[in-house]
Structure 1
Amino acid sequence: MSELDWFLQINLKARHLRLLVAVDTYRNLTQVADVTHVTVPAVSKSLAELEKGLGLPLFSRTAQGLMPTQYGDCLIRHARAMLAILHQARDELKALSSGTEGKVHVGMLPASASVLLPRALSLLKQRSPGTNVMVTEGTTALLLPELWQGHLDLVVGRLPAPDTLGSFEEKELLEEPVTLVTGRQHPLARRKSVEWADLRPYPWILPPPGSILRDPLERALEAHDVPLTTNYIETLSIHVTRAHLQVSDFIAVMAGAAANDTAQPLHTLPLSLPRLLRPAGVLWNRNRGLTPSAQLMLACLEETAERLKKGARGGAREEVAPASAPVKARRRQAAGA
């Protein structure tokens, strides 16, 4: 067994992993000492012991602080992944010891999962009240690295291009057409027919640059000779988009389920867009097994997608799981009040 093998298999500790991540995060021994509540000499000694045990230089000292070498970059990447697995094991053990079902960490692409995920969460809580969920909203660029590192179990939303998936497994859930929408008071909402040229005077609510929808939308508008004005708002928030459309003459692009929300009705412009995006779906890291909680969340997402599909076909009424006994009791009390 080589010196490197011996150190990695026998002498590498969780504290070494935490030290590596901390040094990479702060690039300064004084700051690392502050956050880890030890002295600077102790941090320096631990780092030196780690490099000696591996027989490899992990950081170089520069004017900008401690910078990882190629060996440091490699080990830091794996250290983050191993710590994520340890945290996952901790969460599962805590859940088992406390009698709860577990916890699942879900990333949500907000503009494309605003209907699917909330309904799936409702179904999950009906099935397993003790399974808890942490939801993090963000862009693909933010969430996919978190999924790869193990900080997230699942990412739900519009599936990215296949060439960006790498080590991720995917499942298509819901094909939702993308439509152009306005508020009900918009001048174009009162017209019986609308042409592409009619869009030119109006401002837009756009997905930010770098988001999945931005480039395909710009290409589609360019193909119809509709240049984007200099008057626009950029956001991924479905709530901001809906609220602003209600009080303005802006135009936005939105997926079908979100556009058809009856709580805040919008007007869909009668203009046909090409298929700009892949279906909504769910991603997970194929190199890590899904926890029981994540498997249950995945099953609820699949069932919710099927219900939404049935509701979209011929205006069929969406199936709803039976209310729990306490909910039924409250309803009876309200009826008798």
Structure 2
Amino acid sequence: MATPLDWYLLRNLKARQLRLLVSLDDMGNLKKVAEATHVTLPAVSKALAELEKGLDLELFTRTPQGLRPTAYGQCLIRYARTMLIELQQARDELKALSSGSGGKVNIGVYAASTSVLMPRAICLLKQRSPTTNVLITEGTTSTLLPQLWEAKLDLVVGRLPILSPSSGLEEKWLLEEQLKLVVRQGHPLSHRPQLEWTDLQDYPWVLPPMASQMREPVERALIRNGLDLEKNYIETSSVQLTRSYLHQTDAIAAMANAAAFDPSSSLSVLPLDLPAMPRGAGVLWNRNRAPSPATKLMLDCLDDAATKLRAREI
């Protein structure tokens, strides 16, 4: 049997009320919401009261510091954010269809692992559909995965994190990531036919940060081979910064296979073995959202770019 709550959510809840909930959560103050939305304070207060009455639930607690969402409010606000994003994406896709555009795909990338795969995939996308546009957001696992879950991003591309079964995210491996040691062309070690680990001892290093997945296997390999990591090094996850620094110094760095052999990087790979990464590069998406045509096309382009990279055809 339907309850008043069922009736209100399914028949009477409006987009403006969803926006009100999100604004109240963001600002925590009725007056600030009224000013931001250009309506009167009594009108905002009345709208919240009507929503709480219709649901027969208290959504916010009034405190001296402002409004604080209750457990009911937190639940509804979470879904309100998702629904508003979905409505915006539906609007964008409808506009794209009506204008002849190929749509838009929002992609999050990790700085350390997309300098090769992502540009190639985008080039394929633009060859196949020039009017499909792409927004790239660079970040870390802690910043990008919540946006993927909240539908602010369609895909996240980079080194795959370890996911829990309850994450709601799907993944696809695209590239195995064997690690390589690289230096600038013309480096004193770059043209030696044979190399021992001890030959690396007196050179500066570029190391992955402690929190990165690369740090443990790189550090383990260097320590196992008797190298002192405490002397002279910098830490960064930026491939671009690493390349620039290598070109200006005699430093040594570890890079994933695709980045190390990228022709545009002009780096030399040293003939010493490092372990493969336990998790390869790939793409993540939210299994609870049906991908748009633009997102499906981007997935195909990522897959094709990875296939060509594995075959060393590009």
TM over 0.5: yes
**Residue in structure 2 matched with residue 303 of structure 1 by the alignment:** 304
2:77 corresponds to 1:73 = no
Whichever residue aligns with residue 142 of structure 1, its letter is T
**Residue in structure 2 matched with residue 321 of structure 1 by the alignment:** none
- Report the CA distance between 1:7 and its aligned residue: 1.5
Closer/same/farther in 2, CA of residues 17 and 202 from structure 1, 3 Å limit: farther
2:25 corresponds to 1:5 = no
For residues 1-337 of structure 1, the aligned pairs below 5 Å read 1-163=2-164, 166-189=167-190, 191-224=192-225, 226=227, 228-229=229-230, 231-311=232-312, 317-318=313-314
- Separation in 2, partners of 1:141, 1:101: 30
Closer/same/farther in 2, CA of residues 226 and 73 from structure 1, 3 Å limit: farther
- Separation in 1, partners of 2:221, 2:49: 56
Whichever residue aligns with residue 151 of structure 2, its letter is G
For 1:31-65, what per-residue CA distance to the aligned partner results, in whole angstroms no more than 9, with x for missing partners? 33333232333333322222222222222234543
Consecutive unaligned residues in structure 2, runs of 5 or more:
none
Closer/same/farther in 2, CA of residues 239 and 92 from structure 1, 3 Å limit: same
For 1:90-111, what per-residue CA distance to the aligned partner results, in whole angstroms no more than 9, with x for missing partners? 1110001111121111111222
Question: What is the RMSD of the two structures over their aligned residues, measured on CA atoms?
Answer: 2.4
Which deviates the most, 154-163 or 141-150?
A: 154-163
- Separation in 1, partners of 2:166, 2:246: 34
- Cα contact 1:156–1:282 (8 A) shared by 2: yes
Whichever residue aligns with residue 184 of structure 1, its letter is Q
- Report the CA distance between 1:194 and its aligned residue: 4.2
- Report the CA distance between 1:176 and its aligned residue: 2.8
**Residue in structure 2 matched with residue 323 of structure 1 by the alignment:** none
Secondary structure of 2:108's partner?
strand
- Separation in 1, partners of 2:66, 2:204: 46
Whichever residue aligns with residue 95 of structure 2, its letter is K
- Report the CA distance between 1:81 and its aligned residue: 1.2
- Cα contact 2:154–2:285 (8 A) shared by 1: yes
Whichever residue aligns with residue 47 of structure 2, its letter is S
Number of residues of Structure 1 aligned to a counterpart in Structure 2: 313
- Cα contact 1:185–1:246 (8 A) shared by 2: no
- Cα contact 1:213–1:277 (8 A) shared by 2: no
- Separation in 2, partners of 1:141, 1:164: 17
Runs of at least 4 residues of structure 1 off by over 6 A? none
Closer/same/farther in 2, CA of residues 7 and 117 from structure 1, 3 Å limit: same
- Separation in 1, partners of 2:270, 2:162: 27
- Report the CA distance between 1:192 and its aligned residue: 4.7
- Cα contact 2:207–2:254 (8 A) shared by 1: yes
- Cα contact 2:183–2:253 (8 A) shared by 1: yes
Whichever residue aligns with residue 250 of structure 2, its letter is D
- Report the CA distance between 1:89 and its aligned residue: 0.5
- Separation in 1, partners of 2:209, 2:165: 19
Using the size of structure 2 for normalisation, the TM-score is 0.89
- Report the CA distance between 1:131 and its aligned residue: 1.0
Closer/same/farther in 2, CA of residues 225 and 77 from structure 1, 3 Å limit: farther
- Cα contact 2:177–2:277 (8 A) shared by 1: no
- Separation in 2, partners of 1:188, 1:165: 48
- Report the CA distance between 1:304 and its aligned residue: 1.2
For 1:207-260, what per-residue CA distance to the aligned partner results, in whole angstroms no more than 9, with x for missing partners? 344333334444444544545337543433221111111112333221111112
For 1:179-220, what per-residue CA distance to the aligned partner results, in whole angstroms no more than 9, with x for missing partners? 222223544446554444555554433334433333444444
- Separation in 2, partners of 1:295, 1:149: 19
- Separation in 1, partners of 2:180, 2:46: 60
For 1:283-325, what per-residue CA distance to the aligned partner results, in whole angstroms no more than 9, with x for missing partners? 11111111111111111111111111121xxxxx44xxxxxxx
Closer/same/farther in 2, CA of residues 233 and 11 from structure 1, 3 Å limit: farther
Using the size of structure 1 for normalisation, the TM-score is 0.84
- Cα contact 2:148–2:155 (8 A) shared by 1: yes
Consecutive unaligned residues in structure 1, runs of 5 or more:
312-316, 319-337
Whichever residue aligns with residue 181 of structure 1, its letter is V
- Cα contact 1:58–1:72 (8 A) shared by 2: yes
Closer/same/farther in 2, CA of residues 225 and 49 from structure 1, 3 Å limit: farther
Closer/same/farther in 2, CA of residues 185 and 43 from structure 1, 3 Å limit: farther
Whichever residue aligns with residue 99 of structure 2, its letter is S
